[in-house]
Structure 1
């Protein structure tokens, strides 16, 4: 039976910058590099008898693209996806700030 930790390490070697930034595309003289927000997670374990298991998962949401026209490089966001990624972050930040303010008032 293969070592679960080594297998997960081998599989996760391609995760990181390669999953957040896509390959450069050239369209009508304009260079485009797609950008995504990515989350991944893995887990594994075994018991005393050597029976083990593991798993993983991930999520990716396109948030925009870097666009180069001539000498100008700009980021053009995908507004719908950017809002979908940003709303949970803003909600959590608001909850944390509300609790901090409540503690400081006491």
Structure 2
């Protein structure tokens, strides 16, 4: 199990800030620096069973995702600005809108219940 864990740690060693900010890219004479949300996780475990048991169980796994947030680029005045990825922004707002809607619904139910 220790070997598997060491292998996972080595595999994910290079994931982090270096992956969140991509290498600069030249497009149409402008330099863009892509920005992403990078997340990963892994775990493992084992069970040797009762004393004298013939079998032992071990397992592990991991996963991750990369969400493109946008890019840094220079504007016409030479300033560095961030341009968000519109689709990612809209997809990220869905849980926020749902949470706000549920909170408002709860407040309305509470107000209606207190009036009775």
* Structure 2 equivalent of residue 54 of structure 1: 60
2:86 alignment partner in structure 1: 79
Tell me by how many angstroms 1:78 deviates.
1.0
- Matched position secondary structure for 2:39: strand
What's the TM-score once normalised by structure 1's chain length?
0.73
What residue ranges of structure 2 are gaps of 5+ in the alignment? 49-54, 112-116
Please provide the CA RMSD for this pair. 2.8
3-state DSSP of counterpart to 1:40: strand
Unpaired runs of at least 5, structure 1:
none
Larger-Rg structure: 2
C-alpha change, 1:16 and 1:91, in structure 2 (3 Å) is farther
Q: What is the aligned residue count?
A: 104
TM-score (norm 2): 0.67
